[in-house]
Amino acid sequence: MAAKEAAIDEIKALGFSRFLPEVHKKKGKPPGTIHYTGKERKEEATIDIIDYTKISLEEKSTKKVEDAFPYKDKKSVTWINVNGVHDISILEKLGANLGLHPLILEDIANVNQRPKVEDYDKTIFVVLKMLAYNEKTKAVHGEQLGLILQKNTVVSFQEQEGDVFNPVRERIRKGRKVIRSSGSDYLLYALIDGVVDHYFSVLEKVGEGIEELEKELITRPQTKTQADMYRIKRELILLRKSVWPLREVIGSLHRNEMKIISKQTKPYFRDTYDHTIQVIDTIETFRDLLSGMLDSYLSAISNKMNETMKVLTIIATVFIPLTFIAGIYGMNFEFMPELKIWWFYPLVWLVMIVLVGFMLFYFRRKRWI
Amino acid sequence: MAAKEAAIDEIKALGFSRFLPEVHKKKGKPPGTIHYTGKERKEEATIDIIDYTKISLEEKSTKKVEDAFPYKDKKSVTWINVNGVHDISILEKLGANLGLHPLILEDIANVNQRPKVEDYDKTIFVVLKMLAYNEKTKAVHGEQLGLILQKNTVVSFQEQEGDVFNPVRERIRKGRKVIRSSGSDYLLYALIDGVVDHYFSVLEKVGEGIEELEKELITRPQTKTQADMYRIKRELILLRKSVWPLREVIGSLHRNEMKIISKQTKPYFRDTYDHTIQVIDTIETFRDLLSGMLDSYLSAISNKMNETMKVLTIIATVFIPLTFIAGIYGMNFEFMPELKIWWFYPLVWLVMIVLVGFMLFYFRRKRWI
Amino acid sequence: MAAKEAAIDEIKALGFSRFLPEVHKKKGKPPGTIHYTGKERKEEATIDIIDYTKISLEEKSTKKVEDAFPYKDKKSVTWINVNGVHDISILEKLGANLGLHPLILEDIANVNQRPKVEDYDKTIFVVLKMLAYNEKTKAVHGEQLGLILQKNTVVSFQEQEGDVFNPVRERIRKGRKVIRSSGSDYLLYALIDGVVDHYFSVLEKVGEGIEELEKELITRPQTKTQADMYRIKRELILLRKSVWPLREVIGSLHRNEMKIISKQTKPYFRDTYDHTIQVIDTIETFRDLLSGMLDSYLSAISNKMNETMKVLTIIATVFIPLTFIAGIYGMNFEFMPELKIWWFYPLVWLVMIVLVGFMLFYFRRKRWI
Amino acid sequence: MAAKEAAIDEIKALGFSRFLPEVHKKKGKPPGTIHYTGKERKEEATIDIIDYTKISLEEKSTKKVEDAFPYKDKKSVTWINVNGVHDISILEKLGANLGLHPLILEDIANVNQRPKVEDYDKTIFVVLKMLAYNEKTKAVHGEQLGLILQKNTVVSFQEQEGDVFNPVRERIRKGRKVIRSSGSDYLLYALIDGVVDHYFSVLEKVGEGIEELEKELITRPQTKTQADMYRIKRELILLRKSVWPLREVIGSLHRNEMKIISKQTKPYFRDTYDHTIQVIDTIETFRDLLSGMLDSYLSAISNKMNETMKVLTIIATVFIPLTFIAGIYGMNFEFMPELKIWWFYPLVWLVMIVLVGFMLFYFRRKRWI
Amino acid sequence: MAAKEAAIDEIKALGFSRFLPEVHKKKGKPPGTIHYTGKERKEEATIDIIDYTKISLEEKSTKKVEDAFPYKDKKSVTWINVNGVHDISILEKLGANLGLHPLILEDIANVNQRPKVEDYDKTIFVVLKMLAYNEKTKAVHGEQLGLILQKNTVVSFQEQEGDVFNPVRERIRKGRKVIRSSGSDYLLYALIDGVVDHYFSVLEKVGEGIEELEKELITRPQTKTQADMYRIKRELILLRKSVWPLREVIGSLHRNEMKIISKQTKPYFRDTYDHTIQVIDTIETFRDLLSGMLDSYLSAISNKMNETMKVLTIIATVFIPLTFIAGIYGMNFEFMPELKIWWFYPLVWLVMIVLVGFMLFYFRRKRWI
């Protein structure tokens, strides 16, 4: 009973609501209203600013959004990373400063967006899902990432502080040639690439889970194994839903004629596009494999059931007639001449043995034993 | 029995006919004949008129369609909301006043249209489905909404008075900047957006139903649970049928070169398009989840059945041979030497115990127990 | 036995051959050979001619095809309706008179064509299926309709006289404004629209059949119910096959740049196109619903089976051990000390009762009862 | 046992290898190497030449390929039909004479090509599958047909002599107007049309097989019926594989701007295209019907099984408790007071009858009987 | 137990990891970082150089990449084959010498790429999978092949030395006319064609496996047969995943306007494209056939199970009532008048025989026996 309550809690905590968009929370509000739709958060939003050129580098961490404004007109590339989109005032001020369309701000705060890219001439707005694998619940969780690309500026909006972008930060700090000498479009690429690369870790974890199950299936299949297969199948539905639209998003980044993305950066986006396709391919393969495992598990179960039935049939078919014969001579009629004949008892035994022999022969021929 | 009759009544009331288009009601009438095909209604149709500019606002509620005519040539934006399309005369008069194509009027009155958009140069005609979730019957119901966009005028035709548009009305009344300073195309957007936003509430209700079922599945699955799964599956078929064509409709509004829709309004339509995609995505995810739940329910049922069979087999296989042995020595032959031997009775017990032990060992090895 | 023969007869009469194209009947003949491939017909073919302008109207019914020739060069719109394409000579003469391509004539006579539209510059040739629902056999039957559109002339070829076009005739006779003042392209539209409208009646009948089944499923499911579900599924396959290509046909009529179809008529074709989509949508929905019903029927059956098994298991599991105990003390050994002890008989009863109690408790805990 | 060996032989003879392309036979050879990959053949290849204009006709049958060379520069239409592509030398000489690309010759000899059309400017190369139905094995066999179209010349390459082209020959001989007065492109059409028309005969045979099965299903379903359904399903996979690419092939012939195909001939190719679509449609319909039949067969089987189980359950449930009661009073305890009471025996009978009555009532209520 | 451990080892060795892309190994590294992701290899990488014109031929095998540099500016066609991409330094040096984009080098070293083609103006980069069938494990293994095409130069990167290219080498050595007188684009074609041709051998092996299974299915189906079907199904998933993207790759090579590929070579790429389609077709057909085999196996199993149940039912149904009758007269009541009547014992026998006869008749009518 306690186990069941725990299971329900688990569903509540991580289960179904992950699949439900919650746009309705803003229902009735006019479009352009900035309204946070994610989990309630208490921590204050923070802002990390990195401003760099080929030769200079400036880093700053702040809680006042106004600190980011001076970088706007600089020629250096500025990356403004906002951790926490639940603080609407930051979005509003930054939006006003950068001249963002109200719908962009609305979409950043509404963390249940489908991945998409929108081209507002001087601004490109990208929405992605960052995925994380929770080792304990063995569930995949998604977090929304909003990205704004303008000339010389990239703004990234995360729901909470994370470590997916640390490698990019490292590369900027270490003064890697390509990233430091490229524009903001390359920085956008670097961030998206970081997110997509991270998908592979999640896939790897899920893949390990499937491999684990496969071993279990061979050594000792149990009812739990089957439940686990359905659980992973479900995670794959969630994964698929998060990743599938990405194909279109990144595809349009490397194909389309967006002026703000330079010709030098396009091959990099194509590379990320290839990775996305690979992620999708792998998810599909996982689904196929899992279906195959389920089929083969179900057929194993059904084979076992058939074997059980066969044993029952053989035992019953052999003994039921014998018991009947014994029953006959257990009757108490006074006039049963056979009972007086001394060789009738051995004869009954003989008949029984012959009967059994015949049945076994028949089953053999039917290939039942 | 009564329960069954109630079930049939329920089917009649909400069930199947929702899936049947009823265009045939007008069969044989020439095209352009305005013919109402919805449920019979007794209440009189009413007309709400809102006329506004950035600075002025006029509201009127009437039952005389002629009251709407004077607004036609004004430069202000006029929204004429007709509640009740069963009053053909209103349609005819309004159609004549606005110069609508007879096919438009026919489609407004025929409330079984598929969602669509039609561009008649100076008039854009949109058909949508408004959905509502009936808490009691747990069924989704659809109602047709016809929208006419002309320069400075939007006309909306509902089957009955509803509250989906109240937020839009509020925004106009409160003098919200965007809606009051935009044209009729923005008003059209606001109405469509209201309808699509409402879908999320319906989805949320359906989602809650699925979550409920999931809990039931884990704690105490019953035959009713399964019937409920099929019921929800069916609602999803209806939902899908209503929402799927919307993708195309709104997609063509934000992409196409309709002169009447201004460049400023297009991003808003794109936003609504994204919401539509999200609705469709969610419906598909619900279908996948429901299929998964059904599979896992069926496999749970089949596991239980197998367990039952195993118990039967073990009991039968163990006791049938023992009963046979007992039957043998229950025979009444006069010449059964064993019966006279004092140690034969304990021996029979021993044989039986050994037999049981052997069988249990065999079952253990077969992993049946 | 008789029932089975009747069933076979039924299959022969209406069943399978409806699915088989019979183009092979003309195998080996050169293309352009006019060869009738439908059922044998004895009645003579008749020709109905209606010739009209805005102000004039002339009707004629004849068996001589030559009567239709004089209308060719008139400026009025002429509708020539041929009932019976088995009379090849009529086709040949009319074809020669109107200058039709031999392949058109071949396709008219070969009544197993797939719906299609062909544009021969000055002639447009359309093939449709007219569907009818046979109340007695509950089967859908199709008949081919060939339509020729030329400037001022429409020719329609039916396999036999039917009543689908009566409403169109009525409208012409009554002098309805639109049809009488439009050209031959509008007449073509009116005929096609009549056919598509008729599909809804067929769908309605099929829908009623499904609704009937659904009620049966809830009140008293029987083996026949299942057979009926498969039968309707089959009808839907046939329907789908007839209607699906229509989408393309009518779509190309309203989109393509065929000179002969005027701009005024195109919106009407778009309307018919919408109806076609709705027909297809409804067929798909019916398929989905039927699949759902089948699944839910099968699961009901399987639930019943499981319940049966459970009862068997419980009865057998409870009584088999008891019967064994009774068997033990039914043995006739002379040296069975228990038989002499007076409290052993009640003890056996006690043991049995405890055993039953324990088993019932165990089953309860396993939730089997 | 013999039956099984025969079954294996059958598989070897006609079964699996039909599905395996055998391109590997030429593995490692350079492209353009002409290498025959079909069955070994002993008969010598023959060449039929028909050369005609509107007024003249010349026929020749030879084994020397050089006899075909003089026709090359004539203005008359020449049809060279090669029976047997295993004679590589003929291919090489003819290829050299007509200036064919080495890849064309390779594809003609490699009889496992997928249907395709290739446009080499002055030469059009078409590969088709000719299908034949083997009445004895009830299997569909395919043979490759290569067609070369050049100005005034058509060359056809068959694996062996066949009769599919006889009707075309007849039409040329009889001086039919269209074929004799058209160019080589019309001849190409006539040959392709002959092949596609022949598909209908094969479909008809397969259709008859399905109809046969359907009758069997209704009158006396057997295990063999099911095996036959799987066999036909398999034939349909093969058919589908052969015909599906044809759609694209013939579609590109009637759409594309190949200079060599005149405007007059295009409508004829469109006609053949329609036939191809119809063939594909019919195959799909057969697949759907067969799936329906299989489903309905399986459900019939499962209904029977359930009935069996029900009978077992009723018999066992009724008699097991009765047998237990009889067992009780068969025990030999000395102190069983009931045994001495004269009305106890009739009482036992009464109890048994009441018990049976109650059970039958219970089963009736559960609708088991 | 040992068998199971072996099975797990097998999975580890060849099973699951083949399906998992391992891009994550480079996670966090900046794009353009060359990082080998394949199996660890100890052997040193080797380089084979073949340089040829129509009249000259030079072959060299070396371990120093610098030996390849002088050929760069020659007008002769140079083929540089690198065996072993785990030696990053070779990639870097060669990349610098040929002016390759860093992303190309990254993709060559990362051996988990999806097949693709990339056009960098003066360089075309192709990634393929070479497949091999392991006779012992009956598994398909893939190895990545990177190909670089520049004017006069082709570079191929294999993971290890292989023999797929030997036929191409032979053709160059033997001075075959076409290959020696064509440019580097033809060489690229020859290499790709070699890889695709090799797929047919793999398919042939898989096909043999399926044929083997089919024979097993007919002669003596066992549980292992089923497991093997699932195993092959899995191999087909892997194969499909490797080959499917190839369609697009080679399709774009023969269609696209890549300047570097001459018009003469395009028909050859089209030929390879046809082969690829055939490979994909065959894989799909194998999947269909395997599904058919599985279905027919499962139905055979279920038929057997039904037969078993039938036998059990008949035996039980016949003997349970008889045993009950015998049980009745085995009771020890003192007052059982029948026991004293001499003709009652034969009567019981008669009743039993009549009962059996009736039951057999009933079963016959139900067609159970």
Q: For C170-215, what is each residue's pLDDT tens digit?
A: 889 987 778 888 889 999 999 999 999 889 888 888 888 888 888 8
Query: Per mean pLDDT, which range of A311-315, D8-12, E186-190 is the poorest?
Result: D8-12
From chain D, pick out residues whose CB is under 8 angstroms from the CB of C144.
none
Q: Touching check for A15 and chain B: CB below 8 Å?
A: yes
CB A143 within 8 A of CB A162: yes
| pLDDT confidence of residue E93 | 92
**Residue A1 banded pLDDT, cuts 50, 70, 90:** very low
Assess contact for E359 and E317: CB atoms under 8 A. Answer: yes
- What is the reported pLDDT for E125? 94
- The crossing angle, in degrees rounded to 10, of helices C102-109 and D266-328 is 20
Among E277, E303, E323, beta carbon nearest to D114: E277
The pLDDT assigned to A20 comes to 54
Q: How many residues does chain D have?
A: 369
Distance (Å, rounded) from C-alpha D289 to C-alpha D295? 10
Instruction: Please compute the mean of the pLDDT values over residues D14-36 and round it to a whole number.
Output: 57
Confidence grade of residue C24 (pLDDT, cut at 50, 70, 90): very low
Q: What is the pLDDT of residue A28?
A: 54
Residue B111 has pLDDT above 90, yes or no: no
pLDDT at site B81: 94
From residue D287, alpha-carbon distances to B99, C11, D203, D230 in Å are 52, 18, 12, 11
Residue type, A299: S
Report the CATH fold assignment for D304-365: Methane Monooxygenase Hydroxylase; Chain G, domain 1 (1.20.58)
Q: In which band, very low, low, confident or very high, does the pLDDT at C97 lie, cut at 50, 70 and 90?
A: very high
Name B226's Cβ contacts closer than 8 Å, sequence gap at least 6.
B294, B297, C296, C299, C303
Q: Using one digit for the tens of pLDDT, what is the confidence trace for B179-195?
A: 888 889 999 999 999 99
Question: Cα torsion at E359, E360, E363, E364 (round to 10°)?
Answer: -140
Residue D4 has pLDDT above 60, yes or no: no
Residue D133 has pLDDT above 60, yes or no: yes
* Confidence category of residue D13, pLDDT binned at 50, 70, 90: very low
Task: Identify the chains in contact with E, defined as 3+ C-beta pairs within 8 A.
Answer: A, D
The whole-number pLDDT of residue C186 equals 93
- Please name which of A291, A153, A339, B31 lies closest in space to residue C269, comparing C-alpha atoms: B31
pLDDT of residue E4: 52
pLDDT at A25: 47
* Token pair recorded at residue C89: 């000579």
The total of other beta-carbon atoms located within 10 Å of residue C43's CB is 11
Confidence check: pLDDT of C256 > 80: no
As given in the structure block, the two tokens for residue D148 are 């070369």
CA distance A187 to chain E (A): 11
What is the average pLDDT across B323-344?
Answer: 90
Are residues C292 and B237, on separate chains, in Cβ contact within 8 Å?
A: yes
Say if residue B35's pLDDT is above 90: no
DSSP D192-244: HHHHHHHHHHHHHHHHHHHHHHHHHHHH---HHHHHHHHHHHHHHHHHHHHHH
Chain E residues 201-220 within an 8 A CB cutoff of chain D: 201, 203-204, 207, 210-211, 214-215, 218-219
- In three-state secondary structure terms, D55 is coil
**Domain E2-299, CATH class in plain words:** alpha beta
Note the pLDDT tens digit of each residue in A45-91.
Answer: 899 999 999 889 999 999 998 888 888 888 899 999 999 888 889 99
Is E158 within 8 Å of E84 (Cβ atoms)? yes
Q: In a mutagenesis test of the E interface, which of D315, D317, D355 is the best target, namely the one with the most E β-carbons within 10 Å?
A: D315
Backbone angles phi, psi at E146, to 5 degrees: -100, 135
Highest mean pLDDT range out of A250-264, D147-161, D202-216?
A: D147-161
pLDDT of residue A127 exceeding 90, the answer is: yes
Please name every residue paired with B89 in a beta bridge, in sequence order, or none if there are none. none
Average pLDDT over residues A230-254: 87
Superfamily of C305-365 according to CATH: Magnesium transport protein CorA, transmembrane region (1.20.58.340)
Q: How many CA atoms lie within 13 A of B72 on its CB side?
A: 12
Q: Which tokens belong to A310?
A: 């066969």
Q: Parallel, antiparallel, or unpaired: how do β-strands E116-120 and E123-134 relate?
A: antiparallel
The verdict on a CB contact (< 8 Å) between C178 and B32 is yes
Spatial strand order of the sheet with C139-150 comes to C57-62, C46-52, C77-83, C153-158, C139-150, C123-134, C116-120
Contact at 8 Å (CB) between B108 and B87? no
Q: Are C80 and C93 a contacting pair, CB within 8 Å?
A: no
**B308 to C313: CB separation less than 8 angstroms, yes or no:** yes
Query: Is pLDDT at B136 greater than 70 in this prediction?
Result: yes
Of the candidate ranges B14-23, B355-364, E43-52, the one whose mean pLDDT is the lowest: B14-23
Mean predicted lDDT score pLDDT of chain D: 84
Fill in the amino acid letter for C298: L
How does DSSP classify residue E14? I
Domain boundaries in chain E?
2-299, 306-365
Task: Check if B309 contacts A (Cβ < 8 Å).
Answer: yes
Residue D352 contacts by C-beta under 8 Å, 6 or more apart in sequence?
A: D322, D325
Chain C residues whose CB is inside 8 A of the D278 CB are: 21, 23, 112-114
Cα–Cα dist E81/D251, whole Å: 42
Give the nearest partner residue to E204 out of D24, D298, D305, using CB atoms: D24
**Residue B49 pLDDT:** 94
Please report which confidence band the pLDDT of residue D32 belongs to, taking 50, 70 and 90 as the band edges.
low
User: Tell me, what's the pLDDT at C264?
Assistant: 87
Please, which pLDDT band fits residue D34 given cuts at 50, 70 and 90?
Answer: confident
Handedness of CA D331, D332, D337, D338 (dihedral sign): positive
Q: For residue range D208-234, what is the model confidence (pLDDT) as tens digits?
A: 888 888 888 877 777 788 888 888 888
The predicted pLDDT at position D126 comes to 94
CATH architecture of E306-365: Up-down Bundle (1.20)
Over range D14-40, report the average pLDDT.
Answer: 60
> E111 with E85: CB under 8 angstroms?
yes
Residues on chain B touching C330 (C-beta within 8 angstroms): 326-327, 330
Question: Does the structure show a pLDDT above 80 at C10?
Answer: no
Reference E275, options D126, D144, D25, D21; nearest CA is: D21
Query: Which helix (H) or strand (E) segment is A335 a member of?
Result: none
Scan for tokens 């005519």, then name that residue. B69
CB atoms within 10 A of CB A14: 16
Interval A95-123 mean pLDDT: 88
Q: Residue D46's closest CA among D77, D72, D81, D70?
A: D81
Query: Among residues E133, E126, E136, E245, which one has the least CA distance to residue E189?
Result: E126
For chain E, the residue count is: 369
> What pLDDT is stored for residue C308 in this prediction?
80
Task: Please answer whether residues C156 and C190 qualify as being in contact, where contact means their C-beta atoms are separated by less than 8 angstroms.
Answer: no
* Residue C116 in this model has a pLDDT that exceeds 50: yes
A186-208: average pLDDT: 90
Instruction: Determine the pLDDT at residue E15.
Output: 46
Residues E263 and E255: their CA atoms lie apart, in Å, by 11
C-alpha count within 13 angstroms, C-beta hemisphere, residue C126? 27
**Which site among D122, D304, D312 would you substitute to test the E interface, given the most E Cβ atoms closer than 10 Å to its Cβ?**
D312
Long-range contacts from D61-67, C-beta under 8 angstroms, 24+ separation: D65/D89, D65/D90, D65/D93, D65/D94, D66/D93
Banded pLDDT at B252 (limits 50, 70, 90)? confident
Residue C261 CB neighbours (<10 A):
23
Contact predicate B34/B109, CB 8 Å = yes
Q: Are C147 and C155 in contact (CB under 8 A)?
A: yes
d(CA B32, CA E42): 81
Q: For chain E, which residues score pLDDT lower than 50?
A: 1-3, 11-16, 22-26
Q: Which of B119-123, B199-203, C216-220, E185-189 has the highest average model confidence (pLDDT)?
A: E185-189
Please report the pLDDT score of residue E97 as a whole number. 92
Q: Do C30 and D178 touch (CB under 8 A)?
A: yes
> Does E365 contact D at CB distance below 8 Å?
no
Considering only residues B143 and B42, tell me which one the structure prediction assigns the higher pLDDT: B143
Please, which residues 149-168 of chain B have a Cβ atom closer than 8 Å to chain A?
A: 166-167
Give yes or no for a contact between E45 and E108, defined as CB atoms under 8 angstroms apart: no
Q: What is the pLDDT of residues D303-337, one digit of tens each?
A: 888 888 788 888 888 899 999 999 999 998 888 88
How would you label D47-73 residue by residue, b for 16+ Cβ within 10 Å and e otherwise?
A: bbbbbbeeeeeeeeeeeebeebeebee
Write the pLDDT tens digit of every residue in D92-131.
Answer: 999 999 999 988 998 898 888 889 998 888 899 999 999 8
Question: Is the pLDDT assigned to residue B124 strictly greater than 90?
Answer: yes
Mean pLDDT of A123-150: 89
User: Residue A127 phi/psi, 5° resolution?
Assistant: -115, 130
What is the SS3 assignment for E74? coil
The Cα–Cα gap between D129 and D113 comes to 9
The residue of chain D nearest to residue C26, with distances taken between CA atoms, is D197
- Whole-angstrom distance, CA of residue C144 vs CA of residue E365: 47
pLDDT of residue D86: 86
Q: Are strands B153-158 and B77-83 parallel, antiparallel or unpaired?
A: parallel
Please answer whether residues C288 and B240 qualify as being in contact, where contact means their C-beta atoms are separated by less than 8 angstroms. Answer: no
What distance in Å separates residue D172's CA from the closest CA in chain C? 10
Q: Are A120 and B267 in contact (CB under 8 A)?
A: yes
List chains adjacent to chain C, taking adjacency as at least 3 C-beta pairs closer than 8 Å. B, D
C contact residues 37-96, partner D, Cβ 8 Å cutoff? none
The pLDDT of residue B20? 53
- Residues in chain A with CB shorter than 8 Å from the CB of E27 are 167, 197-198, 200-201
